């Protein structure tokens, strides 16, 4: 598969987001199945795994540590800190003392002495970004992390952070269905030599044709809280998906493969980390990773699905206030 790089380390263009093995999209796989899936990922050639300390409140990191014990040298490992959940309350803490505490807890769960990439999961508006980045730079000097990443932050914040220390990666949601990175962050990453890591590159399963009826999503599925899946917006969005699937059929790829190819076509500094709790989807996502989307097809997708045609914002107003990314008017 095509290689790109994070912090000058080559990685496959398609990595694996591990969140859905522990949290987020309804019914979770058994630990046995999740262990099999993670090992199958490495066997298939996945070499970039992404997790976070809040995925299942430590469950995901623990799962990776146990499932891939003895295979740590086979993959680039990224995790995140900063989001704090206490009961129903959710906040952000990127103070230096919390950063230091969280990395030690993550390393213990992951059963490793270092991670290759450590993200601030969200911006802490009570702490200067330079102060948080400085604390993370100390972790590099201590050998606990290999590089620094930011998640769901703006181009302005990225530039401020990069003046303190080089930023290896910026992770933000990106697909034909979510275009906000095109406002400024994609270009800022290219300018600064920062890899753009696209999460939800198949639009939370939508552009994999994985959501037929949004009303049937379970109570534990986080998509139920997203405006694009409500009764008002979903019918129009589902019509976009049907047209997208027709393009995929014409090109003889699956909808998921088409969405991934579109994301990867946006720049050589872009990598994608689709998540899945299905071994079949794991295999599908990597099977055509070297396929290049024709320019004409990319243009059709751009015209079909974009910030003007998708109905509803990606987050509720309350959730949007917790992130630092640019928004379309």
Using H for helix, E for strand and C for coil, what is the string for 217-243?
A: CCCCEHHHHCHHHCCCCHHHHHHHHHH
pLDDT tens digits, residue range 290-328?
Answer: 999 999 999 999 999 999 999 999 999 988 989 999 999
pLDDT of residue 89: 81
C-alpha to C-alpha distance for 55 and 79, rounded to whole angstroms: 10
Is the pLDDT higher at 106 or at 86?
106
Residues 6+ apart with CB under 8 A from 167: 133, 148, 149, 150, 158, 161, 192, 194
pLDDT tens digits, residue range 48-77?
Answer: 999 999 999 999 999 999 999 999 999 999
C-alpha to C-alpha distance for 269 and 265, rounded to whole angstroms: 10
C-alpha to C-alpha distance for 225 and 266, rounded to whole angstroms: 29
Q: How confident is the model at residue 90 (pLDDT cuts 50, 70, 90)?
A: confident
pLDDT of residue 86: 80
Nearest to 206 by CA among 236, 180, 165: 236
pLDDT of residue 26: 87
Segment 33-57 shows an average pLDDT of 98
pTM for the whole structure? 0.97
Note if 33 is an active site residue.
no
Residue 2 has pLDDT above 90, yes or no: no
3-class SS letters over 252-290 = CCCHHHHHHHHHHCCCCCEEEECECCCHHHHHHHHHCCC
Give the distance, in angstroms, between the CA of residue 210 and the centroid of all CA atoms in the same chain.
18
pLDDT of residue 88: 73
| Cα angle: 97, vertex 98, 103; to 5 degrees | 105
pLDDT tens digits, residue range 169-208?
Answer: 999 999 999 999 999 999 999 999 999 999 999 999 999 9
- Phi first, then psi: what are they for 82, rounded to 5°? 125, -40
CATH class name, domain 3-205+255-290:
alpha beta
Structure tokens at 263: 């994301």
Catalytic residue from among 25, 46, 55, 174: 55
Task: Measure the CA dihedral 61/65/71/72, to 10°.
Answer: 60
Segment 260-268 shows an average pLDDT of 97
Q: Given the structure tokens 């206490």, which residue do they identify?
A: 86
Structure tokens at 81: 């800190």
Q: What is the enclosing helix (H) or strand (E) of 17?
A: strand 16-17
Q: What is the DSSP string of 31-90?
A: HHHHHHHHHHHHHHT--EEE--TTTTTTHHHHHHHHHTTT-GGGSEEEEEE-EEEETTEE
Q: How confident is the model at residue 1 (pLDDT cuts 50, 70, 90)?
A: low
Instruction: Calculate the average pLDDT of the chain.
Output: 97
């Amino acid at each position: 598969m095509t290689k790109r790089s994070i912090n000058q380390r080559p990685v496959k263009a398609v990595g694996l987001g591990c969140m859905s093995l522990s949290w987020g999209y309804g019914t979770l796989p058994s630990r046995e199945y999740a262990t099999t899936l993670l090992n199958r990922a490495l066997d298939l050639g996945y070499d970039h795994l992404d997790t976070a300390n809040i995925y299942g409140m430590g469950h995901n990191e623990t799962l990776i540590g146990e499932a891939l014990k003895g295979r740590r040298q086979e993959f680039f490992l990224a995790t995140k800190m900063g989001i704090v959940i206490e009961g129903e309350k959710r906040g952000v803490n990127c103070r230096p003392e919390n950063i230091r505490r969280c990395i030690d807890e993550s390393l213990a769960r992951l059963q490793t002495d270092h991670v290759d990439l450590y993200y601030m999961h969200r911006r802490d508006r009570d702490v200067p970004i330079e102060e948080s980045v400085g604390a993370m730079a100390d972790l590099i000097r201590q050998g606990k992390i290999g590089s620094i990443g930011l998640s769901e932050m703006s181009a302005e914040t990225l530039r401020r952070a990069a003046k303190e220390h080089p930023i290896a990666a910026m992770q933000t949601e990106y697909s034909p269905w979510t275009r906000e990175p095109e406002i400024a962050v994609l270009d800022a990453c290219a300018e600064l030599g920062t890899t753009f890591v696209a999460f939800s590159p198949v639009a939370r399963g939508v552009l994999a044709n994985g959501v037929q009826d949004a009303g049937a999503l379970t109570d534990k599925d986080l998509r139920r809280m997203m405006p694009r899946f409500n009764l008002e917006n979903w019918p129009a969005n589902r019509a976009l998906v049907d047209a997208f699937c027709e393009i995929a059929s014409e090109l003889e790829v699956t909808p998921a493969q088409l969405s991934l190819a579109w994301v990867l076509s946006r720049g050589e500094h872009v990598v994608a980390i689709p998540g899945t709790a299905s071994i079949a989807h794991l295999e599908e996502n990597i099977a055509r990773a070297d396929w290049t989307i024709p320019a004409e097809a990319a243009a059709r997708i751009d015209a079909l699905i974009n910030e003007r045609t998708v109905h509803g914002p990606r987050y509720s107003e309350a959730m949007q206030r917790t992130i630092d990314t640019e928004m379309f008017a």
